[in-house]
Structure 1
Amino acid sequence: MELILERQLEHQQKAVDAITSALDGITMIKPHFAYENPLFDREEQCLIHNLEEVQKNIRTDYCGCRDEGNYLNLDIKMETGTGKTYVYTQTIYEMHKKFGFNKFIIAVPSLPIKEGTAQFIGDSYVKHHFSDTCGYNCDIELGVLESPKKKKKGFLAMPPAVCDYVTGSCQNSNKIYVLLVNMQLLTNSNILTRSDYDYLVEGFYRPFNALKATKPIVIIDEPHRFARDQRAYKAIVEELCPQLIIRYGATFPDTTVGKGRNKATFKDFNNLVYELNACDSFNHNLIKGVAKEHFEPLSQKEEKVKLLSVESKTSATFQFKRRGEDTKTYILTSGDSLSIIDAAFEGITISAIGKNFIELTNGQIKYKSEEFNTDIYSSSYQEQMLKLAIERHFKTERQNFSGRQFKIKTLALFFIDDISSYRDSDDEKKPYLKEMFERLLLEKINDLISKLTNNEQEYRDYLEASKADIAACHAGYFAQDNSDSDEAIASEVADILHNKKELISLRREDGSFNTRRFLFSKWTLKEGWDNPNVFTIAKLRSSGSENSKLQEVGRGLRLPVDENGNRISNEEFKLNYIVDFTEADFAQKLVDEINGELPEKLTISEERLKEVAEQRKIDYNTLFFELGAKGYINMNKEIIPDKRDAFYADYPEFASGVSSNKVTDVNKNKKGEIHVRKAVYTELKTLWENINHKYYLFFDRDLTNAIPQLLHDILRKNDIFGNVTLYSHRDEVVNDGKAMMIRKNSGVSYSIKRPIPYNEFLKRISQQTSIPILEIHAAMCELAKEKENGIPEEFINEYSVANIVSAFSDWRIEQLQTRFKYSRSNQPVTETALTYKNGTPREIIKQGNVGTMFVEGTPSDKYLYDKIAFDSPLEKDNIMTDISEVVVYGKIPRSSIAIPTIVGENYSPDFMYVVKKTDGTKELNIVVETKLVKNNATLRDTEKVKIKCAEKFFNQLTLDGYKVSFHTQLENKKVKQIIQEVIAE
């Protein structure tokens, strides 16, 4: 395939004309040396007049110029996907033709951008396009400055790219000399600054001096990466000393001026001569539209868990995300329950920890960086997202293949978190994500083949070719691949980075199908890499919520090309953007970002009024007259200028462009170590050792006899066996003619059929209920005899396991609450969370063991630790409240007190106190469990049972000779009240 470049597209030609118009009519001074550009006077009156004329089409607050150096700066703002590289390449040709410039330096921020730029400018079809089709009748001689290889002994040569660039004669009208350099070589390498080369260029030993002598024009790509206070920009200005800097980007850096009340932050535009914003790009169909879709959690609880890291065979670090709340981190060891993270995991504990994985008591294995729902019966969250992305891909691919005269090769891009989940490695971790993807891909291809019509034979052949070699359908590119010697990996990288034309071709040169269309990366493919035929992006890993949403979708915004290389601009295309539910508001943030670049709106659209009325749950007319009565708008829905600030303050829904990154979490990344105060521990020592004595839990013997009948009843419930049904939520970003808005659209729903082996099915139930496998098998056999066709094989799955375990847990909670007792063991207390084996206190514990959140400050001298770490506002209040009756107190480290409970998990309260009566005659011991709920009725049943078990445990401890008062603190009660009540007893 040969890509067909279109010339004189209106939005691109305007950008080129803006630069040449700014310089039109200026006096050019003939250079003294053959290697120099001609010179111009940047203070010439003609130039100032030109800028004023060009900027008449620029919004007022973006106009203006700051004269910051001995160079002219011109800015071009063009949205991602609208052809910036094409525009500045044509601008180079045009400036050579009109003004005689032929020495240009292009500065880019990263290697992928450098690679993409070099590939574009150096490609033969691009050279042919500009030389012949556009009629410039000249070529660009491109030099790419590379990092130096290891220096060999002897001769030290100046970089060839610098030599060729500098020595190129400006008197050769058929050649334009362009040097391409990345940011790192401008700042972190001595390749341009050293002056000990053995060969000089035009009398210069130092590359920077040689380049400066050419009086270059510098083009900066992605200016938000070249802020003026950064070393790279300073190197351009101070070392290259260009006559002219032209910056091309969708995003520009912010700059701040003034202090205090006079402090203001604005976009760092300097002589912005052309603006093509995102709203216009969407509105004029210059880029694809965006349809955000997230996967709805099965239980509607918007939360998930990620296995962040595994310390080999020792501990595992988890991250818990719930929408609208701070992210929390937990460190668990073998035997710990996942209910520490969330109550939905009750009954699931860590049975083993490997090198890169953990094994759970329900039989599941979770690998490092894997995400999963708190719904224990659902498949991993990545699997759900992969399936949704594959679903969307094939819907688009089928339309692009069978539904048009000239077919479009359809690509999908997956951003993943852990390279080893995709690449085969030498350690024990298998590439579970790759295996999962290949399995889901094969399932979808088989399903789709069965649904094709007789008129789709070529597409059927394409799918059959895909099915025959699933591995050939996908490829990955990661940063370390640049140094990998594996030939297969090198081939994948070549296809993704260098062979754009082959990647978007449906057939290879020999006529066989090219099925590679699913690409995996770890945010390595960012600015600079693009492929017009990316129609689906699945964000299986987070890129950071503060990122520009336009930058995130930017890899898939370009309009596609068909099998003949023609750009298709007369149709509306959508980019499917798949995120997880923690970014359910992605579309709204994208809309806010796009609309935030628009000038302040003076008129409210009828659609917007209806939308806000619906949000406020009032009638449209009521809202309209309400705004009018308050003097915010007139009868034409125009905002009264003097009332604008009050209007937005009173009705913030109407304010556009509010950036969500103004809110930050100061508690993030403040994890560390906490010191134990030895003097305080000495006062708590007796209490701590007594509550750490090991106790056994015993049940009434006759309960065992009820198990067979219980299993009989559970297995015959209507909702025990089945599959998981999943669905997604889809938002499309559309334009109402004035601004961007969100249009709700239907998602997809499907069932996950994931049967497990029958022996595994029995094992998992047994592990979580302690019912013997033979007993469960006998009950299943009885059920199978009753059913005419037996139990469907697909229902022997994790979902059914979870339902059986859940039903058994409900019975156990109901039956066992009064039919158990505790008995103290004779084992001595040895090593604990606060002490070593010899009983001496530890000096340091990890902050995560006492609290996921942190606040600056020093706690009371009575407190066990030197820092304030907590898990809830209620705990924070307890720590920071200094109570006169309290002798010492402390947060009990997480999971450190192993009180066995009837729900099958150990229990550990939150706080311990040693207090004295007001007369100082009697010392009291108090243990407190904090619950951030208003009353007991809102507690989960299992939480109530655990608390009852704790009450019985501490009663037994008192009967055994050591009195401890146990209390539950809800959010409407202060800990001081609890202590005073205990003292008064």
Structure 2
Amino acid sequence: MQFKFSQYQYQTDAADAVCDVFDGQPLQDGVSYIRDTGIRKPASQVLNPAQDTFDIPELRPVQEMLGHFDADDDTGYRNADLLLDGERLLANIKNVQRRQNLTESPRLYTDPAGAVELDVEMETGTGKTFVYTKTMFELNRRYGWSKFIVVVPSIAIREGVAKSLDMTGDYFYTSGRDGNEGYGKKLHSFIYDSSNLNRLDEFAQSSDIQVMVINMQAFNTSMKENGRSKDARIIFSERDDFGSRRPIDVISATHPIMILDEPQKMGGRATQAGIRLFKPLFTLNYSATHKTKHDLVYALDALDAYNQRLVKRIEVKGFELNNMRGTDGYLYLQDVIVSKNRAPQARIEYKKLSSAGKVVTTSGLFDEGDDVYTASGGLEAYHDGWRIAPDGIVPDGLEPGRTGYVRFMNGETLGKGRIMNDGSEADMRRVQIRETILSHLHKEEHLWARGIKCLSLFFIDEVAKYRRYDDDGEPLNGEYADMFEQEYDRCVHDFVENRLDDGSGYLDWLRTTHGRYVHKGYFSIDKHGHSIDSKVKRGSEDSDDISAYDLILKNKERLLSFDEPTRFIFSHSALREGWDNPNVFQICTLKHSDNEVGKRQEVGRGLRLCVNREGVRQDRNLLSDADFLDVNLLTVIASESYERFAESLQKDIETNLRERPIVINDAFFVKTCVPADKLGPEYAGLGDVSFSKDEARDIVYALTVDRLIDRDGKLTDKYKEERFGKDAVELLPEPSRKKVPAIRLVLDSVVEGTTKVLIGNALKRKVHGNPLNANWQKKEFQELWRRINHKYAYTVSFNDDELVKNAVKAIDERLVVSKLSYTVTRGIQKENASRNELADRTHFHRNDSYTGGLDVDASNGVRYDLLGEIAQAATITRRCAARILKSIRPDRFLMFRDNPEQFIARVGRLIVQEKANMVVDHICYDRIEGGYDSSIFTKGGNNRDEAEGYQASKCVQDWVFPDGRIESDFAKDLDNAAEVAVYAKLPRGFQIPTPVGNYAPDWAVAFRDDSGLKHLFFVAETKGTMDSFELRGIEDSKIACAKRLFNQLDLAGGTRYEQATTYQTLLDEVKALQ
């Protein structure tokens, strides 16, 4: 099978965008120069002096391939000089940017490699190699330039580029110009090889289009002259075997056009310095995610590519473990963090017992001496020695050749990116494999009739999990291979059972397949022919194993054939970059999800549009929109929850979207904030400047009337000449004129392309401190505070026999301990995407979910002090706990084995509830010495987003930060109520002790003296109904205790306590007391 290439408009647009930058440059074909042929060996040293070229055995294959190379001919051909000056180049760039609806460059990039440095942004999977290949042909056709160097960051990309250049040669020769007519030329490409430098002579001597592909590692990681690597020394040194010439001099004499593929992976400034040593005519950068910005002339980002149907739609299957146990001692070292001002810290993921009795996975920063046992809430699995040892946090590289790690007091070490004690990992990997197979079968059946081969790709981090070898070197299945074959045969049986073939032949064919023959592994190979883990150099995510990529690329077309039985592929995650097969429809990563690989990169290997058995691309030229989305669907089987993966993917996409040109309208100014430090000291009195809707409307009106913006909201040339001048200022209302410096700064930022630091700040303004205001001093509040600002102790007594009886009854009737299960949630991209949806994380919508069970041994050998744990959880004696456990039903006691941590927490909670029910009627409060300082209101209130708060008028602080809609509405109603004099949102530190935990009421409200109400001082509670039956009883008991306390106060002429979900409810209660 061979790929059939098609011409798309975006490919032509991208090539034209680059070529049009040089509009005005004359066509100059074959500019010749006298090239340095080096010091020739005496004839006596030439093995065959009768020939025109050196007869060096090592060069014979190259000489035979090139045919016409003449070592005696010192004629070389270089790229013609660029004759356009900077002013003309900038004008051309701006014309291109306006045509492409891109933000205009205010000036040429100030430090280019060559005369100019251009960026082309193209989403992964849209064929940027094809585009810059077409661009090379176009630059040659229009201007005669013929020397190009493609620089790539890795072996994987290098091999892929070389393969692509080879595959597209015939297409561009015959029809690649416009889909019908070709260029009539061949492109001669080769991979730079420091052991075969004589190929550089052909590069310099030929007048044909010459393309050298080179990976940055062929120089060194920094591409610095005289770098430490062997290859770097070769390219920058005079070589006897190269005529005493420096290879870099031979290359640079041609003034090549440099094309950087994925420049963001090449080391920034050091790479730029290295590129300049080639003396390039100019440089082109191609990437989906440019890190360093130059002059952008074309952009096709993820949003454009998806909406234009140039990549597959993405579906996500996410997994979540339910009812986790804390018995395995799970730990995952996410990172070792090094900072200048403190010792290294470790970010560790671990399990924690929540206050509700559930075991959850969380992560946190740990210092030397910190104990995971303490952080976990006392999970027994972390009890013995899981404290970080002295000097036990070791950063990357501190020990030669070793990544960072953490050492614990028990002697265990945990490496960065590694996991230990994950009791459920094998079960979850089996679930992932099963779900991948199920997705594959459903999709394969659908694609079968269309003649489209369906492939699924598994990435693993250890080859041994897929392939092992016995003592004789014979291959054996690893753990994942066994899992796959078992699950495949089971899934196929269930899929075809009781189903008749629909005439397509798919089900009949599927019945003949066996799990053993449908999967294959692609890995690095050692000298014995054994599959091995791909080696990854520090600081890189990809392997540099050429043999592995060669294997992948050689089999690219074969895998698309129905004659090849392989449909499921296992490969090492370090070889990810090598996979760009268009018919990958399922991607499953059988490893812990980490932050080092972005979600876009994780899905990027499957975004290319698929092809049928004839190699025809299944695009919008062939399919309706509905069929396109149905056929080109990539399913990602994630190793984490759907919500977490989908949110991370959307964030990753949104972060890398190109900047669209700013439209200056009311909304633009409303969402803009100018920080005070941007305005300069002479305007310090203004503070941070933002704009109301009315002010924004007035500014836009002034800009429109003074013709400083056009009907599309773009700044006119008049603005660029006059800026926001006197005429525009006079059109503003007087109050808005004081903000003119900020208006000018905002508009200038549009011209300069720096609005990103201002846009959106208005929505993310911070409340820096929230001090007490004048309302605090009002006599009504001071009187209210005097009445409630006390601390209390309580006494209570109850009968142990009654507690045991009630607790046993509650446990027997209501105890539920959950077994470990998993939930699969499926979600999919909406049919069209918008930037706002990505920013709001609403571009994916959930389709469905279902739950399955996992049968796992829960104990893991952890020993529990069951009596002590329950006594502590319920605040009772060990003796009382023993009486309760001895009396419950045997089947309830056996629930301990299903989930020990949950059993302890829930039994403890049920006992506390029964205790709470008994104590309310017997509790008595006594005032003790001490009160609360006013600073309790301002602790921890700094740097919160304004959007989270409500700016109040009657509160003792300017800002109220409510917990949900009920509290937000309540605060607004208090401000608007004529009866209310002043109120406070009580801080969490204001607490009332109860036998079932401390209680923090929500509000303190003082009514006006002239309101006609008898009771003027109230403490109010606005918490909504608790969802959990376990929490509801305890919370009700706390509220009942608080009510009892304040009722005692009211008997002495004090303060009333009421529950209310709205202000009107509170007012009705107050009036009922008249």
Interval containing the TM-score (normalised by the shorter chain): 0.5 to 0.7
Deviation at 1:221, TM superposition (A): 0.6
Deviation at 1:802, TM superposition (A): 1.0
Q: Which residue of 1 aligns with 2:561?
A: 505
* Alignment counterpart, residue 199 of structure 2, candidates 164, 168, 174: 164
Output one character per residue of 1:88-119: Cα deviation in whole Å (capped at 9) or x when no partner: 11222233333333322110011111111112
Output one character per residue of 1:108-136: Cα deviation in whole Å (capped at 9) or x when no partner: 011111111112112xx422212233323
Deviation at 1:600, TM superposition (A): 3.9
Aligned partner of residue 128 in structure 1, secondary structure: helix
**Partner Cα distance (1:630, 1:301) in 2:** 57
804-813 or 638-647, larger mean C-alpha shift: 638-647
**Partner Cα distance (2:95, 2:714) in 1:** 31
List aligned pairs for 1:198-217, cutoff 5 A: 199=240, 201=242, 205-217=245-257
List aligned pairs for 1:874-885, cutoff 5 A: none
**Partner Cα distance (1:19, 1:385) in 2:** 44
* Alignment counterpart, residue 269 of structure 1, candidates 269, 281, 294: 294
* Alignment counterpart, residue 327 of structure 1, candidates 361, 364, 384: 364
1:35 and 2:76 correspond: yes
Q: Which residue of 2 aligns with 1:233?
A: 272
Asked if the contact 1:22/1:51 (under 8 Å) is kept, the reply is yes
TM (norm. structure 1) is 0.56
**Partner Cα distance (2:111, 2:610) in 1:** 41
Q: Which residue of 2 aligns with 1:252?
A: 290
Output one character per residue of 1:323-368: Cα deviation in whole Å (capped at 9) or x when no partner: 99753469999xx9x865635955797899xxx9xxxxxxxxxx99
Aligned partner of residue 318 in structure 2, secondary structure: strand
Asked if the contact 2:351/2:362 (under 8 Å) is kept, the reply is yes
Aligned partner of residue 55 in structure 1, secondary structure: helix
Supply the AA of the counterpart residue of 2:824. Answer: Y
Deviation at 1:768, TM superposition (A): 9.7
**Partner Cα distance (1:744, 1:172) in 2:** 52
Compared with structure 1, are the counterparts of its residues 451 and 812 closer, same or farther at alpha carbon in structure 2 (3 Å cutoff)?
same
Compute the RMSD of aligned alpha carbons: 6.1
Deviation at 1:469, TM superposition (A): 0.8
Asked if the contact 1:183/1:232 (under 8 Å) is kept, the reply is no
**Partner Cα distance (2:619, 2:326) in 1:** 39
Aligned partner of residue 447 in structure 1, secondary structure: helix
**Partner Cα distance (2:92, 2:183) in 1:** 25
Compared with structure 1, are the counterparts of its residues 372 and 294 closer, same or farther at alpha carbon in structure 2 (3 Å cutoff)?
farther
Q: Which residue of 2 aligns with 1:412?
A: 457
Output one character per residue of 1:140-166: Cα deviation in whole Å (capped at 9) or x when no partner: 3322124x6xxxxxxxxxx32x32232
Deviation at 1:450, TM superposition (A): 2.4
Deviation at 1:488, TM superposition (A): 5.5
List aligned pairs for 1:53-72, cutoff 5 A: 53-58=95-100, 59-62=102-105, 64-68=107-111, 70-72=114-116
5+ unaligned residues in a row in structure 1: which ranges?
149-158, 255-267, 311-315, 357-366, 610-625, 664-705, 771-778, 785-797, 818-872, 875-929, 943-985
**Partner Cα distance (1:763, 1:193) in 2:** 56
List aligned pairs for 1:64-213, cutoff 5 A: 64-68=107-111, 70-122=114-166, 125-134=167-176, 135-146=182-193, 159-160=195-196, 162-168=197-203, 172-173=207-208, 176-185=210-219, 187=223, 189-194=229-234, 199=240, 201=242, 205-213=245-253
Deviation at 1:253, TM superposition (A): 1.9
Aligned partner of residue 148 in structure 2, secondary structure: strand
**Partner Cα distance (2:467, 2:845) in 1:** 36
Deviation at 1:546, TM superposition (A): 7.5
**Partner Cα distance (2:994, 2:522) in 1:** 52
Compared with structure 1, are the counterparts of its residues 5 and 814 closer, same or farther at alpha carbon in structure 2 (3 Å cutoff)?
closer
Compared with structure 1, are the counterparts of its residues 504 and 95 closer, same or farther at alpha carbon in structure 2 (3 Å cutoff)?
same
1:395 and 2:442 correspond: yes
Asked if the contact 2:94/2:105 (under 8 Å) is kept, the reply is no
1:553 and 2:603 correspond: yes
List aligned pairs for 1:752-767, cutoff 5 A: 752-755=852-855
Compared with structure 1, are the counterparts of its residues 198 and 724 closer, same or farther at alpha carbon in structure 2 (3 Å cutoff)?
closer
Supply the AA of the counterpart residue of 1:243. Answer: L
Compared with structure 1, are the counterparts of its residues 26 and 815 closer, same or farther at alpha carbon in structure 2 (3 Å cutoff)?
closer
Asked if the contact 1:104/1:219 (under 8 Å) is kept, the reply is yes
Deviation at 1:11, TM superposition (A): 0.4
**Partner Cα distance (1:459, 1:933) in 2:** 70
* Alignment counterpart, residue 243 of structure 1, candidates 260, 278, 281: 281
Compared with structure 1, are the counterparts of its residues 497 and 23 closer, same or farther at alpha carbon in structure 2 (3 Å cutoff)?
same
List aligned pairs for 1:360-371, cutoff 5 A: 369-370=418-419
Supply the AA of the counterpart residue of 1:60. Answer: T
Deviation at 1:563, TM superposition (A): 2.0
1:565 and 2:615 correspond: yes
**Partner Cα distance (1:538, 1:196) in 2:** 46
Asked if the contact 1:185/1:191 (under 8 Å) is kept, the reply is yes
**Partner Cα distance (1:661, 1:165) in 2:** 56
List aligned pairs for 1:425-574, cutoff 5 A: 432-433=479-480, 435-450=482-497, 452-455=499-502, 458-460=505-507, 463-464=510-511, 466-469=513-516, 472-477=518-523, 481=524, 483=526, 485-487=528-530, 495-508=551-564, 513-515=565-567, 517-526=568-577, 529-541=579-591, 545=595, 549-570=599-620, 571-572=628-629, 573-574=632-633
List aligned pairs for 1:826-845, cutoff 5 A: none
Aligned partner of residue 535 in structure 1, secondary structure: strand
Compared with structure 1, are the counterparts of its residues 440 and 76 closer, same or farther at alpha carbon in structure 2 (3 Å cutoff)?
same
Compared with structure 1, are the counterparts of its residues 20 and 145 closer, same or farther at alpha carbon in structure 2 (3 Å cutoff)?
same
**Partner Cα distance (2:845, 2:18) in 1:** 42
Compared with structure 1, are the counterparts of its residues 108 and 743 closer, same or farther at alpha carbon in structure 2 (3 Å cutoff)?
closer
**Partner Cα distance (2:111, 2:818) in 1:** 72
* Alignment counterpart, residue 647 of structure 2, candidates 568, 576, 585: 585
Aligned sequence identity (%):
21
Output one character per residue of 1:56-85: Cα deviation in whole Å (capped at 9) or x when no partner: 324234564125355332332222111100
TM (norm. structure 2) is 0.52
Asked if the contact 1:422/1:431 (under 8 Å) is kept, the reply is yes
Asked if the contact 1:282/1:288 (under 8 Å) is kept, the reply is yes
Q: Which residue of 1 aligns with 2:318?
A: 294
Deviation at 1:12, TM superposition (A): 0.4
Asked if the contact 1:409/1:562 (under 8 Å) is kept, the reply is no
Aligned partner of residue 78 in structure 2, secondary structure: coil
**Partner Cα distance (2:9, 2:491) in 1:** 42
Aligned partner of residue 86 in structure 1, secondary structure: helix
Aligned partner of residue 469 in structure 1, secondary structure: helix
Asked if the contact 1:378/1:799 (under 8 Å) is kept, the reply is no
Asked if the contact 2:323/2:821 (under 8 Å) is kept, the reply is no
**Partner Cα distance (2:666, 2:607) in 1:** 29
* Alignment counterpart, residue 724 of structure 1, candidates 810, 821, 830: 821
Compared with structure 1, are the counterparts of its residues 183 and 300 closer, same or farther at alpha carbon in structure 2 (3 Å cutoff)?
same
**Partner Cα distance (2:254, 2:756) in 1:** 54
List aligned pairs for 1:658-677, cutoff 5 A: none
**Partner Cα distance (1:934, 1:110) in 2:** 63
Aligned partner of residue 32 in structure 2, secondary structure: coil
Deviation at 1:279, TM superposition (A): 1.7
Aligned partner of residue 735 in structure 1, secondary structure: coil
Asked if the contact 2:333/2:419 (under 8 Å) is kept, the reply is no
Compared with structure 1, are the counterparts of its residues 816 and 290 closer, same or farther at alpha carbon in structure 2 (3 Å cutoff)?
closer
How many residues are aligned here?
680
**Partner Cα distance (1:431, 1:745) in 2:** 37
List aligned pairs for 1:297-312, cutoff 5 A: 297-299=321-323, 306-308=330-332
Asked if the contact 2:452/2:611 (under 8 Å) is kept, the reply is no
Q: Which residue of 2 aligns with 1:745?
A: 845
Supply the AA of the counterpart residue of 1:475. Answer: G
Deviation at 1:16, TM superposition (A): 1.5
Q: Which residue of 1 aligns with 2:965?
A: none
